[in-house]
Structure 1
Amino acid sequence: MDFSALMTSAGINIGLCALFLSLYSILRKQPTNVYVYFGRRIAQDHNRETECFTLDRLLPSPSWIFKAWENTESDILQCGGLDSVVFLRFLVFSIRIFSIAAIVCLFGVLPANYFGRDMLHKRIPFESLEVFTIANVIEGSRWLWVHCLALYIITFSSCVLLYHEYKSISRLRLAYIRNSPHNLSHFTVLLRSIPNSGVEMAGDTIRNFFGNYHGSSYLSHQLIYRTGKVQKLMSSAEKVYRKFVQLKLASCGLNTRQKLYRCGLCGGDKSIPFHFQRNEEDLDEKITDITTADIFQEQEGCLAAFVFFKTRYAAAIVSQLMQSPNPTLWVTDQAPEPRDVYWSNLSISYKCLWFRRVLMLIISVVFMFVFLLPVTFVQSLTQLTQMKKMFPFFRDILKMPMVTKVVTGYLPSVILLLFFYTVPPVMMLLSTVEGSISRSDRKKSACHKILYFTIWNVFFVNVLSGSLLTQLNAMTRPNDLATQLAEAVPKQATFFITYVLTGWVGLCSEIMQIFALIYTFVRRYICQLDDDPQLVPTFPYHTEIPKVLLYSLLGFTCSILAPLILPFLLVYFCLGYVVYRNQILNVYVCKYEMGGKLWPVVHNTTVFSLVLTQIIAIGVFGLKSSKFSSGFTIPLVIGTLLFNEYCRQRFYYVFTSLSVQDLIEMDREDEISGRMEYIHEELLSGYYKFFPAKDSNKSDICNVDDGATTATESNQFSSIFS
């Protein structure tokens, strides 16, 4: 690829970015799009402002950039939680480290690459991009020490910044734990594999076991049953209730138009209020038919239980210890927060979890290898000779200079990006089937899968070869992996530059919310339905964090090999910082928290990127017959690994466990202030408030057992209409 093809790709992407950002600045001002671009604020404030029409609504403006920039970190923490702060901190880290890398490499490494061999250079627009890479440096060149020195500066700066961020985010997590005194999950243990005695009820079995072995700290428990019939009625009741609320709001106006059902092309002759009144009467009749005996008939199908303890310390101890000599019975784990529980997975037998995890791992690996086909096709587009062989009828078209520049410089990265839109739904489905008991664990598991998938398919598969046979051949020679990477990465650096350029458009499409716009249009004008504030999405950390980490890996690995990628990466991270701040403040709602647990993923992947960069550099220096630079890089690899181990020992456990000191101090403060009694009362109903009626798979139900009496579910269901 020549420099003009790169500029063609840059021009197309810059034009699309300008178009998307201009459209966004106009569409965000339209009242009909308020639920798309200000969903979080509408859901939080429960109102929407109406403004008179002004000409300013039809003119693009950059005011949203200043509004997103002027908010402080405390505002971000309040709106999006600690996870959003962690995500933005990584973007800031990327801006800092690649600013340092850009200064060092553009003014030091790039001239060494460009003048690396004696040759007659063309004018820059007609130069091949390979002359700007390390491939242009002759063997045994004395200028290779510049690349080695640049690698040392980048690695040292990265370790310093990573340590600073790890330390700062660890403090934020400790503050997050200490500042959440009413977190019910700290007092709660999730109990699974409850043995069936065959004599007594499940509730009595749990009460007797924990009363016997944890009598001084045991408070109560809450059983979880499979009662699909009751849950189906609860789901219908909730829908009717929400429709009543919408009708009540609509009845405030003098003129109420009658809407059609479904697609808007056909409908009944009954009025909406009568329709919902009839539904309410039917539901009341069905609910009254369910007796206490029907519910207790399903007590043998007890899935799990939440066991509550009087102190945080007692719950933490129980969650960590094995409760019986048989490790498959009385299995305890720290319970998720009530809003974080993924109720449908509580029905999975504990003995089946290992089988599900192994099966999902196998499916994930198979999916990764199946994805070799589109990646191979994309790689063939970057090489004109292969394209002419594959598509002989396009030979005349490919002779046109502009078509060649578009096909080789723009089309491959776009096609690959479009293929990758199918990956997150598949990985989220696999993580769900895997058996995660919380929404945050499910999203974290999907994040890991997508991260491994993208690094393998975008980086390794692309750099190793452009043909499937060569890729398979490369995988059979793991000893030569470093040498193959050293040969291939400089050649594929131009493709990675165009991939980063396509990432600009991805950020602009994120802020445009194209899919949300289409969904809202179909819902409002075709299905004739009102906007629902409950449909505000959560931030897709499982897709955005792997995406940003991939671009970071490309920046590290190409920094000394092809420094031209660094300015484009800086633009990506700066644009992403503004875009994601805007989305966190206005669009996405924080429905549950991971408490910053994704930072170790970010840290470990960044260290992996550094080590991979150093290994590739060793291979490149070996190919260039520079033994001094190659040997001098080996201590850098060892030092980076030792740094990672130190950070793991120093900070990692803050993100995986709770400290005894913090738990006991929080317990003492609550006992002295008198809040402990209030927390104990809240425990009995805290998880029931987040009853799975709002979950996707509505098959489970909770039953509170306070150790003395058990309230019937029939009386609790009727409260949905109050």
Structure 2
Amino acid sequence: MILSALLTSVGINLGLCFLFFVLYSILRKQPGNITVYAPRLVAEGETQQRGQFNLESLLPTAGWVRKAWQPSEEEFLSNVGLDAVVYMRIFTFSLKVFTIGGIVGIFVLLPVNYFGDQLSHDISDLASKSLDSFSISNVNNGSNWLWIHFCAAYLFTGVVCYLLYYEYRYISSKRIAYFYSSKPQPQQFTILVRGVPVPSGSTCGETVESFFTENHPSTYLSHSVVRRSSKLQGLISDAEKLYRRLAHLKLKNHTPQEFKRDGFLGLFGRKVDILDHYEKKLEDLLDNVRLEQSSLAGKEVPAAFVSFKSRLGAAVALHIQQGVKPTEWLTGQAPEPQDVHWPFFSASYTKSWICKLVVFIACVALTILFLIPVVLVQGLTNLDQLETWFPFLESILNLTVVSEVITGYLPSLILQMFLSFVPPIMIMFSSFQGYISLSQIEKSACIKVLWFTIWNIFFANVLSGSALYRVNVFLEPKEIPSVLAEAVPGQASFFIAYVVTSGWTSLLSSELFRLTPLMKSYFKRVFAGKAGDEFEVPSIPYHSDIPKILFFGLLGVTYFFLAPLILPFLLVYYCMGYIIYRNQVSGMPSFLNIQVILSLMSFTHPSSSLIYVAPKKKRYCQKRFLPIFKAYPQECLVKKDRKDLNDPSIAEFYEALVTAYKGPTLMPIQYPGSSDGRSSPLLLHAAQV
């Protein structure tokens, strides 16, 4: 790729970024879009639907940038919580790393690369110069100037190691401080017990009660047995959908009666009053729900959530083997009650193993299939290869503007379009693997997307673009490092364009402008009318955002001394991301829970970037700080338990803890118009699958 093609790509993306910025600043002020751009504030009652339309709302403003920048980290912590602060630390860490790297790379390494003469000596026609001239490829083999690159690499590694240590220490201290200041949480006092050996003639609940009363007499509090309720969950989902439809009809209905045929798509069957028909159908569903609830007593799963009177008691039960047989009385940390993913509790070991195998095969198949768009993209970056494939396009491809758009902008755009389908697919795969919490599913999907991105966007592009013709290299593993050494610098121009397209434009369109939610909201208002005040507050899509952020970090670490021209574009991305995400977490998303982001950070941030620079330092930081992210130390647990002794509300917490892990499908079903007496809960100490 030549410099003018890169500038064309930058110009196109800058224009799109400016367009999204202007549209966002206008649309965010429109009365009908507040639930799209500030749903969390609406849900919390901190803002209301704006009034009538006025001309001032059509003027683009940048006041939101100042509001997002102003709050200090302490104010940010008090407003949105520790999980949001930790998430934003990814950007601050990356900004620190690549600011230092950018100074060294742009002012030291880039001139050394540019004034090399390995590729060419002509510096008069700068616009037509290949981007390889700005990379290490332009430095002569064996040149003494390469010592500058080696020294820069060691300096950069030392800086990253220091910042990594500081970041781990900072986040771990914030985690402990948050723990001390937080109120008692159900998951701190509860563990999940699986593999309960239920003797004949007894129930799982009786066995759990007897075992923990005998072995943990001073700390055991209560338990909730898990029950199979997949059918019940389906009935409740149908009832909730029907109730929302009924409420929507009542809201927009201005006539005393509205008739509709009750057959397929409203085209067949007898005519009925639609409101009366839905009310009767809802009541029938509620009756079926109550019948199914009453039958759950005999559908126990050999698993239970066991709660204790202290955090230390729960920690002791969690980390000590409970039974003589290692396959019985298996303990695990309980997720937050709203984080529990129920379906796979009833899955057998064989079913779980088969599901994991199927998911693994599916991930491998998806990775192989994704090579098709990768090869297509690399064909677009090489005009000579493209003319060979499609000779009838030769006259069009010879046009300067067309060639610059095709080589500079189109490849990364196509790759980004294909890549957008990967995160939802990985979430679907992870949900089939038998995880018991939504945070575990999110973490698993995040790891899958991260490795998928590293392989398919980095290695596959490098090999398909520069070394695919040397198929025999895979038969000679010793040759792989030398091939990568030649191929990686050659793909610097593609990855620079990828950062601009997938980073800048995608960040503004998906996170700031929120194009997809905006279109859904528009079509919902146009074709379905107003839906009242019901809307869902979205959460940060960790599984798609964190891998992208870390992948850009990988590109920066890799190309720091190979092609430092990429560093300014990365700095722009991280600066934009810092402002945009501060704005988003302040008014738009809700965070799933603190366990999600911290469990993801323990795997990905910031240690994953050092896989490529300092494995020993990574291992040191993991041994030094990672245990704090997995479990709280006994010292902290004892201090917090002692503090609870003076808390007057702890008795109320214990009462609520008894039913905290009672499944949502077993809670009272109450809709307006339903009988209160018939909506009382049927099982008081049960959880569901």
Give 3-state SS (helix, strand or coil) of 1:124's partner. coil
- Structure 1 counterpart of 2:98, one-letter code: F
* Distance apart, 1:338 and its partner CA: 0.6
Classify 1:606/1:533 alpha carbon distance in 2 versus 1 (closer, same or farther; 3 Å).
farther
* Distance apart, 1:416 and its partner CA: 0.7
Match of 1:407 in 2: 406
Match of 1:607 in 2: 610
**1:716 matched to 2:676:** no
Q: Which aligned pairs between 1:615-694 and structure 2 lie closer than 5 A?
A: 640-688=614-662, 691-693=663-665
Give 3-state SS (helix, strand or coil) of 2:606's partner. helix
Residues 144-169 of structure 1 show CA distances to partners (whole Å, capped at 9, x for unaligned) of 12212222222222122221111100
Give 3-state SS (helix, strand or coil) of 1:329's partner. coil
Match of 1:440 in 2: 439
* 8 Å contact from structure 2 (residues 246, 279) kept in 1: no
Residues 7-36 of structure 1 show CA distances to partners (whole Å, capped at 9, x for unaligned) of 111111111111111111111111111111
* Distance apart, 1:358 and its partner CA: 4.0
Q: Which aligned pairs between 1:520-669 and structure 2 lie closer than 5 A?
A: 520-528=521-529, 530=531, 533-594=534-595, 596-600=598-602, 601-609=604-612, 611=613, 640-669=614-643
- Structure 1 counterpart of 2:488, one-letter code: V
Residues 313-337 of structure 1 show CA distances to partners (whole Å, capped at 9, x for unaligned) of 1111212222223322222111001
Give 3-state SS (helix, strand or coil) of 1:45's partner. coil
Residues 280-328 of structure 1 show CA distances to partners (whole Å, capped at 9, x for unaligned) of 5434554565684x333x33x4252111112111111212222223322
Gaps of 5+ in 1: 612-639, 694-700, 704-711
- Structure 1 counterpart of 2:515, one-letter code: I
Give 3-state SS (helix, strand or coil) of 1:125's partner. coil
Match of 2:88 in 1: 88
Match of 1:361 in 2: 360
TM-score, scaled to structure 2: 0.90
Aligned mates of 1:188, 1:213 — CA distance in 2: 16
* 8 Å contact from structure 2 (residues 321, 330) kept in 1: yes
TM-score, scaled to structure 1: 0.86
Match of 2:335 in 1: 336
Give 3-state SS (helix, strand or coil) of 1:458's partner. helix
Residues 383-418 of structure 1 show CA distances to partners (whole Å, capped at 9, x for unaligned) of 112111222221221111111111111111111111
**1:62 matched to 2:27:** no
Match of 2:671 in 1: none
* Greater mean alpha carbon deviation, residues 471-480 or residues 192-201: 471-480
* 8 Å contact from structure 2 (residues 242, 278) kept in 1: yes
**1:189 matched to 2:163:** no
**1:45 matched to 2:19:** no
- Structure 2 counterpart of 1:490, one-letter code: P
**1:23 matched to 2:23:** yes
Classify 1:524/1:49 alpha carbon distance in 2 versus 1 (closer, same or farther; 3 Å).
closer
* 8 Å contact from structure 2 (residues 37, 588) kept in 1: yes
Aligned mates of 1:474, 1:579 — CA distance in 2: 44
Match of 2:112 in 1: 112
Residues 425-474 of structure 1 show CA distances to partners (whole Å, capped at 9, x for unaligned) of 11111111111111111111111110011011111111123289547544
Give 3-state SS (helix, strand or coil) of 1:488's partner. helix
Give 3-state SS (helix, strand or coil) of 2:465's partner. coil
Aligned mates of 1:236, 1:463 — CA distance in 2: 49
Aligned mates of 2:392, 2:73 — CA distance in 1: 57
Give 3-state SS (helix, strand or coil) of 1:681's partner. helix
Q: Which aligned pairs between 1:202-241 and structure 2 lie closer than 5 A?
A: 202-239=204-241
Classify 1:167/1:389 alpha carbon distance in 2 versus 1 (closer, same or farther; 3 Å).
same
Classify 1:333/1:259 alpha carbon distance in 2 versus 1 (closer, same or farther; 3 Å).
farther
* 8 Å contact from structure 1 (residues 184, 338) kept in 2: yes
* 8 Å contact from structure 1 (residues 379, 462) kept in 2: yes
Q: Percent sequence identity over matched residues?
A: 41
* Distance apart, 1:497 and its partner CA: 0.7
Aligned mates of 1:481, 1:372 — CA distance in 2: 19
Residues 490-536 of structure 1 show CA distances to partners (whole Å, capped at 9, x for unaligned) of 11101111001102111111211111112112222223351564422
Give 3-state SS (helix, strand or coil) of 2:327's partner. coil
- Structure 2 counterpart of 1:207, one-letter code: E
Give 3-state SS (helix, strand or coil) of 1:647's partner. helix
1:167 to 145, 166, 169: 169
Classify 1:242/1:316 alpha carbon distance in 2 versus 1 (closer, same or farther; 3 Å).
farther
Residues 88-134 of structure 1 show CA distances to partners (whole Å, capped at 9, x for unaligned) of 11111211221111111111111111111282323211212111111
Q: Which aligned pairs between 1:427-466 and structure 2 lie closer than 5 A?
A: 427-466=426-465
Residues 567-598 of structure 1 show CA distances to partners (whole Å, capped at 9, x for unaligned) of 11111111111111111112211243325232
Aligned mates of 2:162, 2:39 — CA distance in 1: 38
* Distance apart, 1:480 and its partner CA: 2.4
Classify 1:532/1:415 alpha carbon distance in 2 versus 1 (closer, same or farther; 3 Å).
farther
**1:126 matched to 2:128:** yes
Aligned length: 666
* Distance apart, 1:375 and its partner CA: 0.8
* 8 Å contact from structure 1 (residues 440, 593) kept in 2: no
* 8 Å contact from structure 2 (residues 34, 49) kept in 1: no
Aligned CA RMSD, in angstroms, stands at: 3.0
Match of 2:138 in 1: 136
Residues 250-274 of structure 1 show CA distances to partners (whole Å, capped at 9, x for unaligned) of 89xx999989999xx9799766754
* Greater mean alpha carbon deviation, residues 104-113 or residues 268-277: 268-277
Match of 1:492 in 2: 491
Give 3-state SS (helix, strand or coil) of 1:40's partner. helix
Classify 1:391/1:64 alpha carbon distance in 2 versus 1 (closer, same or farther; 3 Å).
same
Give 3-state SS (helix, strand or coil) of 1:412's partner. helix
Aligned mates of 1:288, 1:68 — CA distance in 2: 48
- Structure 1 counterpart of 2:171, one-letter code: I
Aligned mates of 2:260, 2:403 — CA distance in 1: 52
